[in-house]
Amino acid sequence: MKIFISADIEGVTGVTQWEETEHGGKDYEMARRQMSLEAAAACEAILEAGHTVVIRDAHNDACNILPDLLPEGAELIRGWMCHPASMMAGIDESFDAAMYIGYHSAAFTNTSPLAHTTNLKRYNYIKINDRIASEFTINSLWADLCGIPSIYLSGDEGICGTAKEEYPGIVTTAVKKGIGSGTWNMHPKAAIRQIKEDVAGSLGMAHSLRESSDHYVLEIQYKSHMDARSASWYPGVTQIDAHTVRFESKRFYDVRVAMSFIG
């Protein structure tokens, strides 16, 4: 099998404050190291089972993972590809399964102090088909478009719950729990060990593609009414109140492309 991993940082064990997620911030070096090691743990399980793996760095400038911490055999995609798949750019029909490492709770949820969806400064929430959408929601729908099942996710407890509700059969590892502006974390080494074990377990299970919908309704509520007005000019977008716009299509592809212009 050929596995695609999308890796973020806010759902990595220990990471609690925004500063820790930004180049030059307090404890950023600690956070990126743990992100690298959690990603490496997943890669090791995949390679040891005889599969191939490509990992996409999907946080901030997409240059966080320390390549020398990955096992030899893993390939790493750094930087953005100017592609609507964004955090999934690089995936195509040649892959057999998708995994998510370091994922975090969505905007408009209270299960992580770092809860957000794609752009933390711009949105109150993103909804797809009337449900709060997380980055996992959006990215796994993109994998669905490529015919690729999402089989594993690690991150905070909130996003693990979301993933299980949205994708039957997905295996998850909750490495921390968010409470108010705090986090309750697994030991870094225990998280690495657990991720490796759970990824290995997910590879041995039968996974099928989730049933697709024939209609997608995207709703974005912006923090600023100016952003809602700007977005309203995108073809097909309707503004439903001062801060909120909607876009509908039969194809998720159209929704994702719209998001990359109005997001």
How far, rounded to the nearest angstrom, does the alpha carbon of residue 19 sit from its chain's CA centroid? 19
Stretches 52-60, 71-79, 86-94, 193-201: which one binds Zn ion (CB under 5 A)? 52-60
Question: Sheet containing 244-249: which strands, arranged edge to edge?
Answer: 131-132, 123-128, 216-222, 244-249, 238-241
How far, rounded to the nearest angstrom, does the alpha carbon of residue 36 sit from its chain's CA centroid? 15
Judged by CB under 5 A, does residue 57 bind Zn ion? no
Residue with tokens 């806010």: 10
Q: Which two tokens stand for residue 33?
A: 């190291």
Judged by CB under 5 A, does residue 116 bind Zn ion? no
Judged by CB under 5 A, which of 3, 6, 8, 128 binds Zn ion?
8
CB-CB contact of 220 with 244 (8 Å): yes
Concatenating the DSSP letter of every residue in 111-177 gives S-TT--SS-TTTEEEEEETTEE--HHHHHHHHHHHTT--EEEEEEEHHHHHHHHHHSTT-EEEEEEE
Query: Binding-site residue total for Zn ion (CB under 5 A)?
Result: 3
Stretches 39-47, 53-61, 201-209, 217-225: which one binds Zn ion (CB under 5 A)? 53-61
d(CA 52, CA 27): 32
If the CB atoms of residues 57 and 227 are measured against Zn ion, the closer one turns out to be 57
Stretches 2-10, 82-90, 138-146, 162-170: which one binds Zn ion (CB under 5 A)? 2-10
Stretches 22-30, 39-47, 54-62, 154-162: which one binds Zn ion (CB under 5 A)? 54-62
CB of 172 to Zn ion, least distance (A): 18
Judged by CB under 5 A, does residue 59 bind Zn ion? yes
If the CB atoms of residues 84 and 149 are measured against Zn ion, the closer one turns out to be 84
CB of 169 to Zn ion, least distance (A): 25
CB of 9 to Zn ion, least distance (A): 5
If the CB atoms of residues 11 and 149 are measured against Zn ion, the closer one turns out to be 11
Number of H helices, E strands in the chain: 6, 12
Contact footprint for Zn ion (CB under 5 A): 8, 10, 59
